[in-house]
Amino acid sequence: MIYKTFYKSPVGEILIVSKDNKLIGLWLEGQKYYLANLKEEIKEKDDEEILVKVKNWLDKYFNGEKPKISELDLAPIGSNFAKNVWKQLCKIPYGELTTYGEIARKIAKKMNKNTMSAQAVGGAVGHNPISIIIPCHRVVGTNGNLTGYAGGIDKKIMLLEHEKVDMTKLYIPKNSTALF
């Protein structure tokens, strides 16, 4: 059975979803790919152990603490390639950034390849089913472009500001309507 609960956060309402007492999804309201890949019936259960742990983790995060991802049992649904990208995302420290290109280089090395498409990495980052906890908001374009957040650039900016990231060299892509 898949269970869900909701969490009210400074960046909006969050849907948290578990299966077999593991976190399989965390989506911001209105996020692209909301509930993607889930075909089973979903039942609301606010007292499910992992869902309570995730809410506590989010409380710590939004209170300015730096909870560890390892505190939670994650089981994101996706291809092996996507899971490898998401594992790389989990290595980005709180308050720091990386680029799609840097992740592509790390994935290429892991797969014993000379190169890897940053666009392929971007696709996997964009389909991250466990936003915030698997910190896809910490990934930017090589030139400081704040592109590529399924929850919306405005939410990405809020999360980066919350983590006190230096935003002076970052910019919003021209095709976005978000404002600093």
What tens digit of pLDDT does each residue of 8-60 get?
999 999 999 999 999 999 999 888 777 777 778 899 999 999 999 999 999 99
φ/ψ of residue 44, rounded to 5: -75, 130
**Tens of pLDDT along 76-126?**
999 999 999 999 999 999 999 999 999 999 999 999 999 999 999 999 999
pLDDT at 176: 56
pLDDT at 178: 47
Catalytic machinery residues: 136
pLDDT surpasses 80 at 177: no
Least confident of 39-43, 107-111, 139-143, 158-162: 39-43
More confident residue, 149 or 74: 74
What is the mean pLDDT of the segment spanning 68-81? 96
Secondary structure (3-state) at 107: helix
pTM across the whole model: 0.91
Encoded amino acid at 173, one letter: P
What is the mean pLDDT of the segment spanning 156-167? 96
* Buried b or exposed e, range 30-44, using 16+ CB within 10 angstroms: ebeeeeeebeeebee
Domains along the chain?
2-71 (3.30.160.70), 80-162 (1.10.10.10)
Token pair for 15: 């849907």
Token pair for 72: 């939670």
Contacts of 138 (CB under 8 A, 6+ apart): 89, 92, 96, 97, 98, 160, 163, 165
